[in-house]
Structures are given as C-alpha cells and as structure tokens.
Amino acid sequence: MTSPQSPAIPHVPEGLPDRIRHFIDGEFVDSVGGATFDVLDPVSNTSYVQAAAGQMADIDRAVAAARRAFDDGPWPRMLPRARSRILNRVADIVESRDARLAELESFDSGLPITQALGQAQRAAENFRFFADLIVAQTDDAYKVPGRQLNYVNRKPKGVAGLITPWNTPFMLESWKLAPALASGCAVVLKPAEFTPLSASLWADIFREAGVPDGVFNLVNGLGEEAGDALVKHPDVQLISFTGESSTGQVIFANCAPTLKGMSMELGGKSPAVVFADADLDAAIDSTLFGVFSLNGERCTAGSRILVERPVYDEFVERFAARAADIVVGDPHDPATEVGALVHPEHFAKVMSYVEIGKSEGRLVAGGGRPAHLPTGNYVAPTVFVDVAPSARTFQEEIFGPVVAITPFDTEEEALHLANGVKYGLAAYIWTTDLERAHLFAQAVDSGMVWLNSHNVRDLRTPFGGVKASGLGHEGGYRSLDFYSDQQAVHITLGPVHTPRFGAH
C-alpha cells in the first residue's frame, strides 16, 4: 500500500503531457482556431493541462481524413483475419500498459486505482473479443433448391462518430472503438471534456499496432461545440453516444436531418429487488458494490434498493453499517474504495441531491463530505431509507455514491416500484425462488437483468436500455450489425420467368 498523501494533494503521474492535442490523419494537431480548455484533476480541482478545444473546422478536418481512409485506404478492404491481427496487437499493447493507463485514469477521473486497473484490462478484452468475433462470424445464406440463392454481404457503413462519457472513459472508448474498427469503419472519437487524458493515448497505441493513418481520429472539445458538429456532419454515417438522457434527446433530433444511424446508451435509475428468501449476505455485498463502486458514477448502478418488509430492518441496519465503513480517500491509494467525483460541477450536483434527500427519507449513513477530506470532490457513501416512490432521490439519476432504500410488501408492489421511473437500463433481483426469479425478471422494464448477481456481463450479450435509458443495443453481433450494412444479394438459378410487359 502506498503512503497516504495529504487529501488536498493529488498523486501526480510522471510524464504528463504539456498539452492535449487532437489526432487527425496520423498527426497530433492543435485546433484550427487555437482554442483550448482547462482540464482539472478532481482532488485539487486545479488545472493541470490545457486541451485543444475542437470546433466545426476541426471536426471537418477529422471527418475528411476518416472519409479518405474509408474510401481510398486499405482498412475496410482488409480480410477479417488481417484486421483481427491488428486489433489483437492493440489488446496486447493495452494489457502491457495497464498500470500506466490506470494511473492516468485515476488521476484524471478520480476513480480508485484498483478499479481503474480493472477497467484498463477490460478495455484490452474488448479489443480481443471483437478481433475474435470478426474472424468467427458467419453471414446468412438462403437457398431455394434449383431456383435461387440468396446471401448477406456485410459492408462497413463508413465514418462513425463516437461520443463517450467521463465515467470509466478509456474502457468505454474501447467499447465503441473495438467494434467500429473491427467492422471496417473509420472513426472520429469525441471524448468527454472532463477526462481527455487517457483518450490521447489511443493514438500511439493504434499507430504502434498498425492501424493506418486516418482510420482513427480524435477531436477533443465541448459537447455543444465539437460534439454538436460531429453529430450534424453530413459525411458521418452513424453516431454512437453514451451519456445522460437529455443530451441523448438533443442528439436524436440533430441526427434526423441527415438520417444517421444511432445507438444511444443513456441514463439509469436501476432497481435492486431483495426478496425475503434471498441470500442476505450475498445481496448486501452485491448491492453495496453495485451502487458505490466506480464512485457511484455508473449508468447501471443499483441506486434504488427495494427490500421485502420481513427482512427490511435487518437489511437497512447491516447495509448502513457497511456503507459507513467504506474507505473514502486518495484515488491513488490501493485501500481506497470510493475516490473523488470527476469534477466540481458534478460534485455540486450530487451534493444538491444529498440535501434534497434529507427531506425525503431517513439518513442512516453519509450525508455530505467526509470529515477527514475538507477539499476535493469527495462525497461520503450516503444511504437514505424509507424513501417514497415519488421522491426525487427515488426518481432521478444522481450518478454518485447515493442510494435510496424502500420497503415493499408484495411481489406486485415490488414490480410496480421497480417499473415506476422513466428509466429502464438494468435491474437486479435477489431471490432463491427460481420461478419467481424468471417471471419477475421478464416483467421488469429494463434492457438487462441480473439474478442473484451484480453487474457481471458476458461480452456476447446485448447491452442497452428501454424507455429513457437508450435506443438500440450493442454488444456481440449487435455491435457488428450497427457498424455494418447487411446487403442482400439474390442470384437466380436457371431461366427467369418474368411477366413480359409490352410483349403482345
């Protein structure tokens, strides 16, 4: 374990860049107009570097490079095995640098270092998975014996615009980059402005792995400037966006004039439903991890816990005691379980919900800044109980280490509470009754359900939400479907019997 630092002084990695630039057509470049923005670290909330702030001219330049690489370059025309070898090299490089990636990610985002390391390793696995999938995939063929053969010809769609969030940024960038590149697309990545540091590492990783110039392009900047220009650009065929729901609505509208393909993974207010027959030890472990890991800044967080009344008091008592013992501190310290929230703006938002929650439920843990951390974006794991379903802390996404716990008496009430929000991303169900587990899971309005487990996902399965939590699904073959056009080719065998119009 590293020696504890002063809570106001972040661990500063060696070799930080003197500035963060765009990467376009194989070169690091500044913004055409010279615009920049400050990047803060979440422990001291001071600027440690300036990043190039992309505008429309920078997006135009990046899209033009991607278009040339797609139209004239080798990448879309490579055999799947050739692209697979390069993607596996990407995975090898990411794995070999996982400690460095984790250090930079922890410094830039406030994630605990041990959790940031796991995200870096997951990023490598994303590339390895899609490298394997494009070699193993099959496309459909249909035969009418002696008459017709029909087959599907899969073609990359073109230039993909990828807009990624600030929570676990490097991993979530890999989640989009891997299938987009595997499919043969060229890409323009617009990372979140709060956390641009780790995204800047992709350029050298791809160059070293052998990705041709122009296939990967990176433009930093604000969402309302660089992101908006990317969404509206007529030469971008599709947009993959992860972020909050109101931004998703704006992107949806702005994609319409150019009829872009869209995949949007948006917000969540996911329920964890604990029945009285559940393994309470396992349920407490999982629900604590599910809402407080990654600083609570996760779309799939089980931030509403619904507990059947016979075990409600015991659950609340044990959950609150454990929450109070969670280690909050320096993100670089391996002992830390909850680090600093990403940015002072987000810290202020989460703290405002903490104050709202004090009038909506009974506070049994946390409730503000930890006493030993007077500066930085630190929030103690906060637990409100007896929260009414109409409460804002029950209904609205907080995206921080704050949880609402509510009792229920019947299975029907539990389902009504679980479905009683505008979101529908994930759900977690704890019961030993197998029949109830399956029926309840199928009745929940959510894109994903975990039974007697926290969020452990097989990369072959679809990822996405319903209602305000998203549009479309990615993961496995669904990702390849999103980044590809599936062209149907029909071949007639033998004479063609066509009505002879005009032949009298």
List the structure tokens of 499.
Answer: 């009505």
Of 103, 265, 297, 308, the catalytic one is 265
Distance CA 152, CA 477 (A): 14
Give, in degrees to the nearest 5, the angle at Cα 51 between 470 and 42.
70
Q: What is the DSSP string of 287-318?
A: HHHHHHGGGG--TT---EEEEEGGGHHHHHHH
Contacts of 405 (CB under 8 A, 6+ apart): 305, 306, 307, 315, 316, 319, 361, 383, 384, 385, 386, 387
Distance CA 283, CA 405 (A): 13
Give me the torsion for CA of 24, 253, 467, 346, rounded to 10°: 60
**Strands, sheet with 186-190, edge to edge from the N-terminal-most edge strand:** 27-29, 22-24, 216-218, 186-190, 159-163, 238-242, 261-265, 470-471
Are residues 99 and 116 in contact, defined by beta-carbon separation less than 8 angstroms?
no
Are residues 2 and 334 in contact, defined by beta-carbon separation less than 8 angstroms?
yes
Q: Any catalytic annotation for residue 317?
A: no
Spatial CA neighbour of 338 closest among 374, 288, 375, 302: 288
Tokens 């800047």 identify what position?
Answer: 200
Contacts of 89 (CB under 8 A, 6+ apart): 208, 209, 210
Active-site positions?
265
